[in-house]
């Protein structure tokens, strides 16, 4: 389940891309399949071990182009261990809402991006997220949980203020918003809810089969209740004197 549009980012063979806060690696794997030179970056060593194993499995199965490269790097998003202007594409999906010092994290994302490169940032959308917070403290008030709710224009201005040019926004995962509302309503840690379980099975079926009916429904609902908002930027090329 991708939140970032890799066609819009132009990711392909030869693209050097970093997935900051890669988690379980969904965006890193897509970039690897497309033949990119991928860095999966996260602070969680266990997640990175799983991502590294999956990179190997994808290569062994022939699902990644022979030109593709992939590595995992553990570290802090507030101090990325890379040179300035090192990456063609930077992805930060669903991580800024977890970081108290988000301005520092944004500065790092911009710093490692090459002039002419693309940045994609996704966060939970304001309305669906606000409903989750109203329904459940457990949803967000925990170690490593969400520390803020963004408005898209607020985040866009934060990033544009670092010298990047905003180019596009999109909403995604409308079918997932009601699932989280249900979980918040019955209790996030409650595992025996029949309603939540049934909805989860529906989501799994949808992700596996991708039937036209749910694809059309989600496309229509994304602008209204899409769970995530994705913002796309480019870094202006520095003109020589």
pLDDT tens string 180-217: 999 999 999 999 999 999 999 999 999 999 999 999 99
Cα–Cα distance between 235 and 21 in angstroms, integer? 21
For residue 199, how far is the Cα from the chain centroid? 23
Q: CA–CA separation, 213 vs 210, rounded Å?
A: 8
Average pLDDT over residues 167-188: 96
- The arithmetic mean of pLDDT across residues 136-143, rounded, is 91
Which pLDDT belongs to residue 241?
A: 44
Average pLDDT, the chain: 96
Domains contained in the chain, CATH given = 6-234 (3.40.50.150)
Q: pLDDT of 90-125, one tens digit each?
A: 999 999 999 999 999 999 999 999 999 999 999 999
Handedness of CA 11, 89, 157, 75 (dihedral sign): positive
What pLDDT score was predicted for residue 239?
Answer: 52
Judge contact between 37 and 17, C-beta under 8 A: yes
| Residue (of 124, 91, 111, 112) closest to 20 by Cα position | 91
Q: Is the pLDDT of residue 23 over 80?
A: yes
Q: What percent of the chain has pLDDT over 90?
A: 95
Mean pLDDT of all residues in 220-230: 97
Per-residue model confidence (pLDDT) at position 211? 94
Q: Is pTM beyond 0.85 here?
A: yes
Q: How far is CA 95 from CA 66, 91, 106, 150, in A?
A: 30, 10, 11, 12
């Amino acid at each position: 389940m991708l939140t970032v549009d890799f066609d819009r980012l132009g990711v392909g063979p030869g693209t050097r891309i970093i997935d900051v806060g890669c988690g379980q690696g969904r965006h890193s794997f897509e970039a690897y399949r497309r033949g990119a030179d991928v860095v999966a970056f996260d602070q969680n060593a266990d997640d990175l071990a799983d991502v590294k194993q999956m990179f190997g499995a994808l290569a062994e199965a022939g699902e990644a182009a022979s030109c593709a490269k992939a590595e995992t790097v553990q570290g802090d998003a507030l101090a990325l261990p890379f040179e300035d202007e090192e990456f063609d594409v930077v992805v930060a999906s669903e991580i800024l809402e977890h970081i108290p010092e988000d301005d520092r994290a944004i500065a790092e994302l911009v710093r490692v991006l090459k002039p002419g490169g693309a940045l994609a940032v996704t966060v939970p959308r304001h309305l669906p997220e606000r409903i989750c917070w109203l329904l459940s403290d457990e949803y967000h008030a925990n170690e490593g949980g969400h520390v803020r709710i963004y408005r898209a224009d607020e985040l866009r201005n934060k990033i544009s203020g670092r010298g990047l040019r905003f180019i596009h926004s999109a909403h995604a995962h409308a079918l997932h918003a009601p699932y989280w509302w249900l979980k918040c309503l019955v209790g996030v840690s409650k595992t025996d809810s029949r309603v939540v379980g049934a909805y989860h099975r529906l989501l799994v079926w949808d992700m596996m089969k991708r039937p036209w009916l749910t694809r059309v429904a989600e496309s229509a609902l994304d602008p209204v209740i899409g769970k995530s908002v994705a913002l796309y930027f480019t870094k202006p090329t520095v003109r020589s004197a």
